[in-house]
Amino acid sequence: MPLPNNNLYPHFNISRLSHIELGVRDLSASFAFYVEILGLQVTDQNSNFIYLRGMEERGHHSVILKKSNISSCNVLGYKVFDEEQLDKAEFYFKSKEISTSWIERPYQGKTLLTTDIHGIPIEFYYQMERLPTIHQKYKLYNGVKPLRIDHFNVFSTNVDESVEFYSDLGFRVTEYTEDEKTEKLWAAWMHRKGTVHDIAFTNGIGPRLHHVAFWVPTPMNIIDLLDVMSTSGYISNIERGPGRHGISNAFFLYIRDPDGHRTEIYCSDYQTLDTDHEPIKWDLKDPQRQTLWGAPAPKSWFEEGSHFGNINPKQPSLKAQPIVAP
């Protein structure tokens, strides 16, 4: 299926991905993982929530951990260009007969909650409480030294439909994987902020969150994190890597938090600012697609993910299989 044309003038303008809310069963265990091991900075916490940000982030939060009876992903957040875009977004989603609501979100201004075409909960805002810069407060750097949230990756039951929907929102495809037999998309990477992706879609049982990723300064930070995790009781939380992706060219590590939510530690991808950037096509069976060095991902990486609230995941329409590690 041909990729949609770039929509350079969408109905409303999204700046970038912004934040994620994860439901976690044990806030203390999550604090130990995200703060003491990964090194995210606490901006507020109480008995029900922990708000976190990276070292370069000025907004109040990029991660919200919410105490819950179940492990889930509650919402994916995006920042828009200005306040006017929020009313335009409401009009757009209503025109698609997708329900919307205005919600109160601590530390955020006017916030619109809705869903995408497959039911993934998403919210849009313009104003978030701004905090002092800390990127030169080097005594605060800890763990893997996370600088900022980089992207989401979600399982989609129909990647072609996901790409068409997000293209209409102004997201542009940078790289994609196509099944040669059916010519359908198996995966796609799409951006708003001028890097490889703000969100990616992977064929699979969905909708589910595959992972959230954080940008770190160098590959050596990833090596340091592996040393810390392997000597601090977290060796079983290391799922895949370290390695270099074929897609995106990024250096990566995938780890799992105490609830099983997957996090990617990520750096060294490339800019995609030009509006005439041509998407890079990959074949599903190319062994360098997943990892430039040829190592395939484990079975868990293709099968396990976090549920979105009460949404019941469905089987994907495309049955093509990638290369899986034995």
Q: What is the pLDDT of residues 33-64, one digit of tens each?
A: 999 999 999 999 999 999 999 999 999 999 99
pTM over 0.85: yes
Structural domain contains residue 313: no
The string of pLDDT tens digits covering residues 218-249 is: 999 999 999 999 999 999 999 999 999 999 99
- Do 257 and 180 fall within a single domain? yes
> Structural domain of residue 275, as residue ranges?
145-307
Burial 79-99 (b: 16+ CB within 10 A, else e): bbeeeebbebbbebbeeeeee
Q: Is the confidence at residue 184, as pLDDT, over 80?
A: yes
Tokens standing for 115? 């869903």
Domain boundary among 74, 105, 129: 129
- Tell me, what's the pLDDT at 326? 81
Structural domain contains residue 312: no
The string of pLDDT tens digits covering residues 297-325 is: 999 999 999 999 989 999 999 999 899 99
- Do 98 and 217 fall within a single domain? no
Structural domain contains residue 294: yes
